[in-house]
Amino acid sequence: MTRFDGRTILVTGASGGIGSATVRRLVADGADVIASGQSMDALDKLAAETGARPLPFDLTSEDSVKEALTGLSLYGVVNCGGFGGEIATPQDTDISIFDKVISINARGSLLVIKYAAPAMIEAGAGSIVNVSSQASLVALPGHISYGSSKAALDNITRVAALELGGHGIRVNSVNPTVVMTEMSAFYWGRPEIEEPFLKQMPLGRWATENEIAAPIAFLLSDDASMITGVSLPIDGGYTCA
């Protein structure tokens, strides 16, 4: 018997690097996984590979989220859908991009919790993991939009943990360092950015998708049954350096 036998878990952002790695990990651990993401082609390929069930919906639309999630019986949720936005200072930021980053990363995750929680409350159990970022814990140059959205997500985590704990539902965040995905490579892959950053990190390397998926699976599982409301850095020690 594996740790998630008989449990259905929704993963948003499943067409991306961390999201798809999380789907693979949860399926390997016995979960019935529902995978949502932007790219239907990527979701179809992931479904063919893993047996996950694709369920596309728009994180920026409350009607779309409500329609997709109402009536679903879920044990768990992984809010991994995200948008990097732009690299900009406060004085140079494009407010329309800021609004989009907040809408997807914070508001979208809250909408998923809003419409996933009722079934969990009825069941009297559940676990939610929000994929946040080290950018919510420390100030990173150029990350005014992204860092703000993830700080908001961390607060959503804490308040949701407080409000849902009485129903047996745990809510946690993971706060990864950079994984060199397509979304992050345009900035973090530059030598003038990458080299000084890694010098400040005790472990001195980027994370892999699987190194994020494993703690997500742990927090979803009964092995973490007394853990709720935390923001867990997965950052090679960067935020303690």
The one-letter amino acid at 166: G
Active site residue 146: yes
Q: Which one from 75, 146, 187, 238 is the annotated catalytic residue?
A: 146
| Of 185, 183, 217, 220, residue with least CA distance to 15 | 183
Q: What is the crossing angle of helices 108-123 and 62-69, to 10°? A: 30
Give every CB contact of residue 101 below 8 A, 6+ residues apart in sequence: 83, 84, 85, 145, 146, 148, 149
Token pair, residue 224, equals 């973490």
Question: Residues with catalytic annotation?
Answer: 146
